[in-house]
Chains A and B, each alone.
Chain A
Amino acid sequence: MQAENPLRDSFKKTVRTFINVLPIIVGMILMTSLVVTAFPEQISTGLFGNGDILDTLLGASIGSIAAGHPLASYLLSGELLGSGVGLIAVTALVVTWVTVGIIQFPAEAMMLGTRFAMVRNITSFVAAIAIAFLTVYTLRYFGLT
């Protein structure tokens, strides 16, 4: 019978875990790369201008689908604000960009459970819309905009 070796056992367990998740990570990054490069910014700027509620839903949806570094969401948001899109819609986009992950959903579901991933993403989407309105209304309330 082999003697118990915590170091070796932990290393083996970690390697096993990594072998399981590596194809998911590589697959997700490949898929994200495909979506990001195929998603032209011009499309998003032409879609807005339908009032706060619809624009916010649209902003939240774009942020949910988009993937990539959060820095990209700031740059896109700057472009959108510059082209006249409202701050509420832009905030919803920035928040869902980092809290909702349609692209990452398969990985999240595989690793943390489908029901958990579904509930978390829907909750995060709704929360992002609430945060967008609350942030802008708070700024307005204190006369900071």
Chain B
Amino acid sequence: MPDKQEKKGRGGWLFLALVLLAYAILGLVNPEATSRSLTFFTHVMAQVLPVLGLVFFLLFVANLVLKPKWIKRYLGKGSGIKGWIAAVLGGILSVGSIYAWYTMLSELQQKGMRNALIAVFLYSRAVKLPLLPLMIHYFGMAYTLILCLYLIAFSVISGIVVEKLSLQRSE
């Protein structure tokens, strides 16, 4: 496991180095576009940082409280209907950058969370509670309601399909 973690860490730094290299090249070719992108980046980072703080805290609590046995019971293979409901509600209620949630889900996956439930969580994030009034404003109440119901139904379907087609990481 530590080897896997180390490799993952190195891969991340290499990835960041490549992106920075792309910025350096773009900076030489088109400094104005690079400046626009960096302004956008600082704006997004300002939004993401508080969420990362929250995720750090949740991860800390999860590491402290959640034991693999508990995860396996409530979100693992034998979790049953409760696991599906927890994943759908968790996805709908989750806020903030998806990157922060990948971290959390990766930890839970290593502790035994089902791939199906990870897929359900990620899909049901499409139902954005805080943005519903805005969606109703743009598309209407009936459209928003029908779309949200289909999104929830398809989050479960997508979970079933993803689990059938993908391998559990631990296998």
- Please list the residues of chain A having a beta carbon within 8 angstroms of any beta carbon in chain B: 6-7, 9-11, 13-14, 16-34, 36-38, 68, 70-71, 74, 77-78, 87, 91, 94-95, 98-99, 101, 104, 106-108, 110-113, 115-116, 118-120, 123-124, 127, 130-131, 134-135, 138-139, 142, 144
Closest A residue to B60 by beta carbon equals: A14
Complex alpha-carbon distance, A91 and B63, angstroms: 39
Complex alpha-carbon distance, A25 and B44, angstroms: 11
The answer to whether A27 and B16 touch (CB under 8 A), given A99-B123, A112-B106, A131-B154, is yes
**Residue from the set A37, A78, A94, A144 with the largest chain B CB neighbour count within 10 Å:** A37
B106's contact among A11, A111, A119, A139, by CB below 8 Å, is which?
A111
Q: Is the CB of A116 within 8 A of B169?
A: yes
Cβ contacts under 8 Å, B103 to chain A:
17-18, 21, 25, 111
Cβ contacts under 8 Å, B15 to chain A:
23-24, 27, 106, 110
Count how many pairs of residues, one from A and one from B, have CB atoms less than 8 Å apart in the complex: 186
Chosen A-B contacts, 28 in total, with CB atoms closer than 8 Å, are A14-B59, A16-B5, A17-B59, A20-B12, A21-B12, A21-B106, A23-B12, A23-B15, A24-B99, A26-B45, A27-B20, A30-B37, A31-B19, A33-B41, A70-B128, A98-B128, A99-B123, A104-B98, A110-B11, A112-B102, A112-B118, A120-B122, A120-B166, A130-B154, A134-B150, A135-B147, A135-B150, A144-B142
Cβ contacts under 8 Å, A120 to chain B:
119, 122, 158, 162, 166
A78's contact among B16, B126, B138, by CB below 8 Å, is which?
B138
B143 CB-CB contact with A under 8 Å: yes
The answer to whether A131 and B150 touch (CB under 8 A), given A34-B37, A98-B128, is yes
Q: Is the CB of B40 within 8 A of A116?
A: no
The answer to whether A107 and B13 touch (CB under 8 A), given A99-B122, A124-B158, is no
Complex alpha-carbon distance, A27 and B19, angstroms: 6
Q: Is the CB of A131 within 8 A of B52?
A: no
Q: Is the CB of A74 within 8 A of B16?
A: no
Q: Is the CB of B44 within 8 A of A110?
A: no
DSSP majority for the B interface? helix
Complex alpha-carbon distance, A84 and B26, angstroms: 35
B93 CB-CB contact with A under 8 Å: no
Q: Is the CB of B56 within 8 A of A14?
A: yes
Cβ contacts under 8 Å, B143 to chain A:
87, 135, 139, 144
Q: Is the CB of B48 within 8 A of A29?
A: yes
CB distance from A78 to the nearest CB of B (A): 5
Q: Is the CB of A26 within 8 A of B16?
A: yes
Closest B residue to A74 by beta carbon equals: B138
Q: Is the CB of B147 within 8 A of A91?
A: yes
Q: Is the CB of A28 within 8 A of B64?
A: no
